[in-house]
Amino acid sequence: MAEKRKIIIDTDPGQDDAAAILLAFGSPEELEVLGITTVAGNVPLALTSRNARMICELCGRQDIKVFAGADRPVKRPLITAEHVHGKTGLDGPVLPAPTMALQEQHGVDFIIETLRREPAGTVTLCTLGPLTNIALALEKAPDIAPRVRELVMMGGGFFEGGNITPAAEFNIYVDPEAAQAVLKSGIPVVMMPLDVTHQLLTLKKRVEAIRAIGTRPAIAMVEMLEFFERFDVEKYGSDGGPLHDPSTVAYLLKPELFKGRDCNVEVELESELTVGMTVVDWWQVTDRKHNAKVMRHVDSDGFFALLAERFARV
Residues near Ca ion (CB under 5 A): 12, 14, 17, 128-129, 245
Q: What is the CA radius of gyration of the chain?
A: 18
CB of 121 to Ca ion, least distance (A): 26
Q: Does residue 297 have an active-site annotation?
A: no
Q: Decide whether 26 or 242 has the Cβ nearer to ligand RIB.
A: 242
CB 295 within 8 A of CB 258: yes
Q: How many residues bind ligand RIB (CB under 6 A)?
A: 15
SS3 label, residue 279: strand
Give dist(CA 148, CA 133) in Å, integer: 14
> What mask of x and - would describe binding to ligand RIB in positions 174 to 203, judged by CB under 6 A?
------------------------------
Helices (H) then strands (E): counts for the chain:
12, 10
Judged by CB under 6 A, which stretch of 32-40, 54-62, 167-175, 266-274 contacts ligand RIB?
A: 167-175
For the chain, report the end-to-end CA distance as a whole number of angstroms: 21
9 binds ligand RIB (CB under 6 A): no
169 binds, among ligand RIB, Ca ion, none (CB under 5 to 8 A by kind): ligand RIB
Annotated catalytic residue, options 83, 85, 198, 244: 244
CA–centroid distance for 313 within its chain: 21
Rank residues 12 and 223 by Cβ distance to ligand RIB and give the closer one: 12
Instruction: List Cβ neighbours of 269 (8 Å cut-off, separation of 6 or more).
Output: 176, 177, 180, 275
Choose which of 51, 124, 171, 202 interacts with ligand RIB (CB under 6 A). 171
304: contact with ligand RIB by CB under 6 A = no
- Cα–Cα distance measured from residue 33 to residue 27, given in angstroms and rounded to the nearest whole number: 10
Residue 12 CB, nearest distance to Ca ion (Å)? 5
Please say which residue, 128 or 307, places its beta carbon nearer to Ca ion.
Answer: 128
Distances (CA, A) of 281 to 37, 73, 107, 262, 290: 31, 26, 33, 9, 9
Residues that bind ligand RIB (CB under 6 A): 12, 14, 16-17, 41-42, 128-129, 154, 163, 169-171, 244-245
The residues that are catalytic are 244
